[in-house]
Amino acid sequence: MCTWNKVLDENAKGKLSQFCLIPAENIVTLYDVPNIWHIPLLLRDQKAHEAMFKVLNLHGVAKEPNLEEWTCRAESSDLLYEPVRIALVGKYTCLSDSYLSILKALLHASVDCQKKLVVDWIPASNLETATAKGNHDAYKAAWKLLKGADGVLVPGGFGDRGVQGKIIAAKYARENRIPFLGICLGMQIAVIEFARSVLGVQDANSTEFEPHTKSPYIIFMPEGSKTHMGGTMRLGSRRTYFQTKECKSAKLYGCKSFIDERHRHRYEVNPDLVACLENAGLSFTGKDETGQRMEILELPNHPYFIGAQFHPEFKSRPGKPSPLFLGFIGAACGQLDAVLQRSSIVDNSLSKGVDISPVKTYRTRTTTKTAYRTAEYVYGSCNGLHF
């Protein structure tokens, strides 16, 4: 394969074939395209699959690739122009690949809502008052991005750097009714902020950041040894049981009784303090089978304020976005009701044994096509990152 800004002519392919000892028919050009989803189409158009069939001796079992839905998605993505701005408030914003799975999940959901994703990177520490004193320009720029966002996302992470800035971002989203999604540490941040601002527990904290805190709302809850770092994490697929089907998160997952999502963490919400949080208005809509581990939180009276202890981004796929990300983007661009209704349709089709359900109409340059997907769900950059 060769990347270039235009198609290789036959002379160039001949030279590559001669000097690299590769059959000319096995050389394909992956030239610049408007979005990465065009790449499989380039491979198909240059018959890369036929070369693979031949080398692997698969002609008897392999079929021609059916990329109709993929083509619709790639072409419709080129035509998206109305932006949805997401403020990603994190610790590793100087390296976008640190949040690659989250960026892709946001992209999948944005395309599903037919919006152009714009990610505004906000270093969490730049929202803190300490930055206002030492670097006022960075502080001012961070707040300008936060206030201009359609949605606020606080991702996972380890360590206490930037924690106060993340708490500030969660508070801003909660008080100003901006769609909010907190993942792993982001969910824990939402709990700490709620305890401090609503319950008035000013020293509410996590034992990860303050081991001897008198108000441990987040505590160490490993599934292994506390002394061996490799054995302390709650890892892999774990089951979450919805406590009610009337909450947004349950509806987004198609009103299922439980879901399986992937985990990667050590600290969790202190089960001894759950009752006081719920009495104040915070709702833990998803829990593990023991009822001791809080998996999903929501603010029922907020347009969209959800935290997940698991990592829903890990199961997001093109055309099959993570439900929580889809709800988040839907809320950020005013489509949440439609997204919730569509999720219910998928659930009804499952109960009736329907295998295929229409989910999106893609408008291309020349025609309008309806894409279909199986009823079950499976579950990008820089400042102002455009996809």
**pLDDT of the residue at 8:** 80
Q: Which two structure tokens, joined as six digits, stand for 93?
A: 């914003």
DSSP for 91-139 reads S-TT-GGGGHHHHHHHHHHHHHTT-EEEEEEEEGGGGSHHHHHH-HHHH
Residue 135 has pLDDT above 90, yes or no: yes
Give the DSSP letter string of 269-298. E-GGGHHHHHHTT-EEEEE-TTS-SEEEEE
How, if at all, do strands 29-31 and 2-4 pair? parallel
Residue 95 burial by CB count (10 A; 0-12/13-18/19+): exposed, middle or buried? exposed
Q: Locate tokens 């990592």: which residue?
A: 311
Contact 308, 182 (CB under 8 A): yes
Please state, in angstroms and as integers, the Cα–Cα distance from residue 131 to each residue in 125, 197, 212, 378, 383, following that order: 7, 22, 27, 41, 19
Q: What pLDDT is attached to residue 296? A: 98
Exposure string over 246-281, b if 16+ CB within 10 A, otherwise e: ebbbbbbbbbbeebebebebbbbbbbebbeebeeee
Q: Which residue has the tokens 């949440």?
A: 336
In this prediction, residue 2 carries a pLDDT of 53
| pLDDT number for residue 92 | 79
**Is 49 one of the catalytic residues?**
no
Cα separation, 302 vs 177, in Å, equals 6
Phi-psi region of 63 (alpha: psi -120 to 50; beta: other; left: phi over 0): beta
Helices (H), 253-381: 274-279, 323-332, 336-351
The string of pLDDT tens digits covering residues 307-328 is 999 999 999 999 999 999 999 9
Task: Check residue 7 and report its DSSP letter.
Answer: P
25-29, 169-173, 228-232, 364-368: least confident range: 364-368
29 or 287, higher pLDDT: 287
Q: What is the chain's mean pLDDT, rounded?
A: 87
Average pLDDT over residues 248-276: 96
Q: What pLDDT shows up at residue 55?
A: 86
Q: Which two tokens stand for residue 183?
A: 């993942």
Report the pLDDT value the prediction gives residue 345, as an integer from 0 to 100: 74
Q: Is the pLDDT of residue 350 over 60?
A: no
pLDDT value, residue 6: 72
Q: Is residue 31 within 8 Å of residue 12, measured between CB atoms? A: no
**Contact 241/332 with Cβ under 8 angstroms?**
no
Asked if residue 59 lies in contact with residue 65, where contact means CB atoms within 8 angstroms, the answer is no
Q: What is the 3-state secondary structure (H, E, C) of 137-204?
A: HHHHHHHHHHHCCCEEEECCCCCCCCHHHHHHHHHHHHHCCCCEEEECHHHHHHHHHHHHHCCCCCCC
pLDDT at 195: 98
Q: What is the phi/psi pair of residue 211, to 5°?
A: -55, -30
Categorize the per-residue pLDDT at 64 as very low, low, confident or very high, splitting at 50, 70 and 90: confident
Q: Please give the backbone phi and psi of residue 184, each rounded to the nearest 5 degrees, phi first.
A: 60, -105
Q: How far apart are the first and last CA of the chain?
A: 24
- Does the annotation mark 184 as catalytic? yes
Tens digit of each residue's pLDDT (9 = 90 or more) over 184-196: 999 999 999 999 9
- Active-site entry in 108, 261, 313, 333: 313
Output the pLDDT for position 380: 34
- pLDDT attached to residue 379: 26
pLDDT digits (tens, 9 = 90+) for 143-156: 999 999 999 999 99
User: Which residue out of 38, 265, 302, 311 is catalytically annotated?
Assistant: 311
What mean pLDDT do residues 244-253 have?
A: 96
User: Can 2 be counted among the known catalytic residues?
Assistant: no
Instruction: Write down all domains in the chain, each with its CATH number in brackets.
Output: 2-73 (no CATH), 83-351 (3.40.50.880)
Q: Which residue has the higher pLDDT, 134 or 368?
A: 134
Cβ-count burial of 286 within 10 angstroms (0-12 exposed, 13-18 middle, 19+ buried)? buried
Tell me what percent of the residues of the chain surpass a pLDDT of 70: 86
Point out the catalytic residue in the list 72, 184, 247, 333: 184
Percentage of the chain exceeding pLDDT 90: 66
Residue 136, CB-side half-sphere exposure with 13 Å CA sphere: 1
